[in-house]
Chains A and B, each alone.
Chain A
Amino acid sequence: QQQVKQSPQSLIVQKGGISIINCAYENTAFDYFPWYQQFPGKGPALLIAIRPDVSEKKEGRFTISFNKSAKQFSLHIMDSQPGDSATYFCAGEFTGTASKLTFGTGTRLQVTL
């Protein structure tokens, strides 16, 4: 069964700190790894994504680190802000025909003042 395991389940970080969320996957056919951000009462929205041919991707304060040999990837949020408080989902996908995302269980991030 395709699985993506995500940790921690919840995370509290002070404003200005670094938030780190980790994911591990099993299916080596996955070739696309996005992170989605969900605010309360809203649907998830794509935050950042990476392909396994690179080890890191950075967009502003958000960075994905990818370790193909370990089948792990992580999201780093630098200089965390209260507005980053949300639930974050990692996911994996094989982008062939009839592709579909497999989501992790989510991490609820709270950034305190």
Chain B
Amino acid sequence: DAGVIQSPRHEVTEMGQEVTLRCKPISGHNSLFWYRQTMMRGLELLIYFNNNVPIDDSGMPEDRFSAKMPNASFSTLKIQPSEPRDSAVYFCASSSPWRGDTGELFFGEGSRLTVL
């Protein structure tokens, strides 16, 4: 089975440009999470969706960041305008409505963003 699919895997852009990161969750999963990983701050939850509805976006750093989930199989994280401090690895993760005892999150392989 395909896991969480993220694109692009690597993105290099210049300051001020718009960046769009994409995520396809595992089919049947109803929760989707966007995380940012940096050496300084570790894994930070930016936003998460339940049944395509944003539940908690308190981790979104500022108005330059926005996320959408137009349907159950697709989500985007957009940064406009991008800044060098946005350089990080961005992970998308999904989970099943029946998380049971494991409560497992399934992560994609991440999108490494470098803003020059």
Contact = CB atoms under 8 A, between A and B. Distances in A.
A44 B103 CA distance: 14
B110 interface: yes
A59 B99 CA distance: 19
B102 A98 contact: no
Interface residues of A, number: 23
Contacts of A101: 45, 105
A106 B42 contact: yes
Interface stretch (A45-53, A63-71, A77-85): A45-53
B50 A98 contact: yes
Interface of B: 4, 33, 41-43, 45, 48, 50, 55-56, 91, 93, 99, 101-110
B25 to A, nearest CB: 13
A100 B33 CA distance: 9
B42 A93 contact: no
A49 B102 CA distance: 7
A95 interface: yes
Nearest to A41: B109
A49 B110 CA distance: 23
Most buried by A among B33, B42, B103, B104: B103
A44 B33 contact: no
A42 B48 CA distance: 20
Contact of B109 (A43, A51, A103): A43
Contacts of B41: 105
A95 B99 contact: yes
Given A95-B103, A98-B55, A100-B48, A43 B43 contact: no
A21 to B, nearest CB: 14
B113 to A, nearest CB: 15
A9 B22 CA distance: 31
Contacts of A99: 103
B103 A100 contact: no
A103 B99 contact: no
